[in-house]
Structure 1
């Protein structure tokens, strides 16, 4: 149990400091430290990440480190994408989800190894492309139960032109929105499966 508490602390610290990274640790902690079955671990991960992200967002709102315009452009389509991804994840086998999860962990490791640089570009993508990116990140979030911050932060920095602090704060709120949407769908699917038994 102490290992699980330590893991939860690391998840919260990573989400709070970087606006990403912590959520991708949640599924392994639930599965391998708490022996939670894969489908339930993925659904629970979304609920845990949503709660942590909402809590961390309060600080960013008070510090005015949230771009509400990008929250709408990226976050709202992300919620729809997450709901769709969760629906798709609930009908495929957990092995497929875990395989995709491993691939995403590898991508996240590459991003962390390379590090982030402060964006100096003033180029901003068209609104339609930001909406599409938000939706795609949402699908990934819902399908494998991760917050998607390791995709959201670079997208907000390099494609939307936000500075890192603003991208981090905005990312945390988007993660909370997406994770909540995905959990709702997984909860519905779990309820339906339990009713069928």
Structure 2
């Protein structure tokens, strides 16, 4: 679909930039962009396509953050492995829900998470914990719940994974961003494969999205490293982005939801 090339590349660039900058926001941006900017008609196809694109962009950004030393591998692997099981279960349930209803619930979830991200953090009161058995167990429990939400709404889940990793381990924001990308990619892959098995992925648009996302991701990662010294800067950027997109999603889906 040649008419979609420009919007798809630009939208993918924005998604990649978000993933590189804050470790999330990829799919909560990708699904609305595919529907309202690129012009994908069916919500379930937008969800499946965005999951595939975000998967590739997340793994590409993971490489950059790993080179910068921002990844806590043990916690990242536990979160990704357990959360992927939750994502498979959640995406199976999500396919059974009406597309417009799913988008409306998605918008509500975004508002809640945006509010949580704005809460002030007392980082000094919660130092980073050792990645021992207890920490890994807590991380695994949180990962499964996060993975289910990720799969249900067809999102990479970074905007849930980043605060979840901080809650479970006490790691600094920049490390949570880098570590989250392994889980974002894994969750997205589980969701994408599930949707692709039902024919709910637009492959040409996904490729265009990925191409734009690689470039955007490099720029986002560079900016994240520059802003990491500011304790709440990344949180505020992310929360603001969530509120804007949530308002638009709710506006576009409310009518169909109420009918």
- TM-score, normalised by the number of residues in structure 1: 0.87
Separation in 2, partners of 1:116, 1:51: 32
Instruction: Indicate if the aligned counterparts of 2:7 and 2:38 stay in contact, CA closer than 8 A.
Output: no
Cα distance, 1:11 vs structure 2: 1.2
1:115-172 CA distances to partner (integer Å, 9 max, x unpaired)? 7757330375643332121011111111111111111111112331111121110011
Separation in 1, partners of 2:140, 2:112: 22
Instruction: Indicate if the aligned counterparts of 2:138 and 2:168 stay in contact, CA closer than 8 A.
Output: no
Aligned in 2, Cα 1:184/1:116: closer, same or farther, shift over 3 Å? farther
Alignment of 1:33-72 (within 5 A): 33-36=37-40, 37-72=42-77
Separation in 2, partners of 1:147, 1:118: 27
Partner of 2:19: 15
Cα distance, 1:84 vs structure 2: 0.8
Partner of 1:179: 188
Name which structure has the greater RCO, CA cutoff 8 Å, separation 6+.
Answer: 2
Partner of 1:158: 167
Aligned in 2, Cα 1:183/1:160: closer, same or farther, shift over 3 Å? same
What is the DSSP-based 3-state SS (H/G/I as helix, E as strand, rest coil) of the residue aligned with 2:198?
Answer: helix
1:23-62 CA distances to partner (integer Å, 9 max, x unpaired)? 2110001111122110100111100110110111111122
Which of 174, 185, 188 is equivalent to 2:197?
Answer: 188
Aligned in 2, Cα 1:85/1:58: closer, same or farther, shift over 3 Å? same
Which 10-residue stretch deviates more, 22-31 or 1-10? 1-10
Instruction: Indicate if the aligned counterparts of 1:15 and 1:23 stay in contact, CA closer than 8 A.
Output: no
Alignment of 1:96-135 (within 5 A): 96-111=101-116, 114=118, 117=121, 119-120=123-124, 121-122=126-127, 124=129, 126-135=135-144
What is the DSSP-based 3-state SS (H/G/I as helix, E as strand, rest coil) of the residue aligned with 1:33?
Answer: helix
- How many residues align? The count is 190
Separation in 1, partners of 2:20, 2:119: 17
